[in-house]
Amino acid sequence: MPINFKNFINSQALKSKMNDFQDLDHIEGVSISTISANLYEKPRDDVVMFYFRDGANYASVYTKSKIVSENIKWNRNIKSKKIKSLLINTRNANTFTGPDGYKGLKEIAEEISLKLSKKQIEDEAHPTKVSVDEIIFGCTGTIGEKFPTQKIKENISELVNKINYIQNKYIWMKAALGIMTTDLKPKLAMEECEIGNKKIKIYGIAKGSGMIFPNMATTLGYVFTDADLSNDILNKLLKKNIETTFNAITCDGDTSTNDMVSIFSTGKVNNTNIKNINDKKIKSFDEALHLVLLNLAKRVVADGEGASKFITINVLKSKTEEGAKKIAFSIANSPLVKTAVAGNDPNWGRIIMAIGKTDINIEINKLSIKLGPMKIIEKGQLSKNYIEDDAKVYMKEEKNINIDIDLNLGKKNFTAYTMDLTKKYIEINADYRS
């Protein structure tokens, strides 16, 4: 169900949210505007424009699906090293829309180019043109439905009119709300850090697995910083940090045709030139970026369809990181484990099953399993201190369930995040349209 922004902005939920983000203000060089292009039956903000008036360096990671949306194809064709605008619509995935879908993006990019170029020339401080090759797109929503080119195009002029160079902090919340599909909560994260004694901001927004009409679960994440970093550095930092954040979460093991996470740096802070991600001066930024991405990724899981519990699975002391990851995801994607958590059932037999079904070799007499603080299996034997009733109380009372798998075979670890599988998931995914 689309969120009514006017109700939401006045609600207790938003106020408490805003307390989390009271320091959010603006990132120099980033402007945001949102609009309802009437893509939904009940109007809500459904198109969000990010405008980087002096351009932004950027890097993106896209879905690994072999079938991708037209906007992902568009983005991959961009040659420009700097981006001036990112436009996101949250109603139409622009997948299986054929040449018309791609052509629609081109028409919209031409309109954005025209209107933003006009604005840049009017605002004498930024008198360069915005080219079609400096615009990228985020899309999520229904697959195979005609892309609403006209409706979006008609609203570009107003989106550009609404742009302010200095914006109040609520604009970030509006952007986070504007990219939601059936997410129940907007997802924002912010960190501050330093590069060579210069203070740097990193803000991010994301949307999670939700459905429209109903269709695809899609993850979109956009991160913005005022640091001055090259595309190469941004790319390396994003690829490195995505592995333990957005690539460490799973809701239902399904992957969309539209998944996209991007980082944009406006370069407004005149920090030291960074040529290598092993440079000590980038360490604080690297850590802060990791926190922003992890925070957003966790919010996606916590708001996964039908989720009532957040599950963290730590696989420890594996021979290889790949092995740790396979076991962690085998547990995280197991419907039997996820329904057991939904039912407050410390059913460790299902964890054993999920460990066993991967192709990773383990040694049972070295395997230990913990549920929260409780040891269940110690070196292949049921722990003498394990009391199932205590485990049931833990399952029932905790909203955050921790499962630790210690393989005792090596030095590599991997942590995966997921949520439980509830009747609500089936309701959302089976009953929504019927």
- At residue 21, φ and ψ (nearest 5 deg) are -120, 35
Applying CB under 8 A, does 19 fall inside the site for a copy of itself?
no
Distance of CA 25 to the CA centre of its chain: 21
Nearest to 48 by CA among 129, 122, 140: 140
Applying CB under 8 A, does 61 fall inside the site for a copy of itself?
no
Select the residue interacting with a copy of itself from 174, 201, 268, 350 (CB under 8 A): 350
Residue 289 in 3-state DSSP? helix
Return the range that interacts with a copy of itself (CB under 8 A); candidates 22-30, 49-57, 267-275, 333-341: 333-341
Cα→Cα distances 298→125, 206, 230, 282, Å: 40, 10, 28, 24
Distance of CA 64 to the CA centre of its chain: 15
Q: Which two tokens stand for residue 409?
A: 């075979």
Choice between 263 and 342, CB closer to a copy of itself: 342
Nearest to 241 by CA among 195, 201, 296, 192: 296
Return the range that interacts with a copy of itself (CB under 8 A); candidates 35-43, 60-68, 177-185, 231-239: 60-68
**Distance (Å, rounded) from C-alpha 196 to C-alpha 185?**
36
Applying CB under 8 A, does 214 fall inside the site for a copy of itself?
yes
Choice between 121 and 426, CB closer to a copy of itself: 426
Residues 402 and 372 sit within 8 Å (Cβ to Cβ) = yes
Applying CB under 8 A, does 343 fall inside the site for a copy of itself?
yes
CA Rg, the chain, in Å? 23
Query: By rule CB under 8 A, what string of x and - marks binding of each residue 68-87 to a copy of itself?
Result: x-------------------
User: Total residues at the site for a copy of itself (CB under 8 A)?
Assistant: 65
Supply the minimum distance, in Å, between the C-beta of residue 376 and a copy of itself: 9
Select the residue interacting with a copy of itself from 140, 225, 244, 257 (CB under 8 A): 257
Element (H, E) at 100: helix 98-122
**Distance (Å, rounded) from C-alpha 175 to C-alpha 44?**
12
How many CB atoms sit inside 10 A of residue 1's CB?
8
**Distance (Å, rounded) from C-alpha 208 to C-alpha 364?**
37
Q: In the annotation, is 339 catalytic?
A: no
Select the residue interacting with a copy of itself from 56, 59, 139, 216 (CB under 8 A): 216
The active-site residue out of 90, 97, 140, 218 is 218
**Distance (Å, rounded) from C-alpha 236 to C-alpha 247?**
15
Return the range that interacts with a copy of itself (CB under 8 A); candidates 21-29, 81-89, 196-204, 209-217: 209-217
Choice between 109 and 217, CB closer to a copy of itself: 217
Select the residue interacting with a copy of itself from 176, 360, 416, 419 (CB under 8 A): 360
Which active-site residues does the annotation give?
A: 218
Task: Catalog residues that contact a copy of itself under the rule CB under 8 A.
Answer: 63-68, 93, 95-96, 98, 142-144, 214-217, 252-257, 333-336, 339-340, 342-345, 347-350, 352-362, 364, 377, 380-382, 421-423, 425-427, 429-434
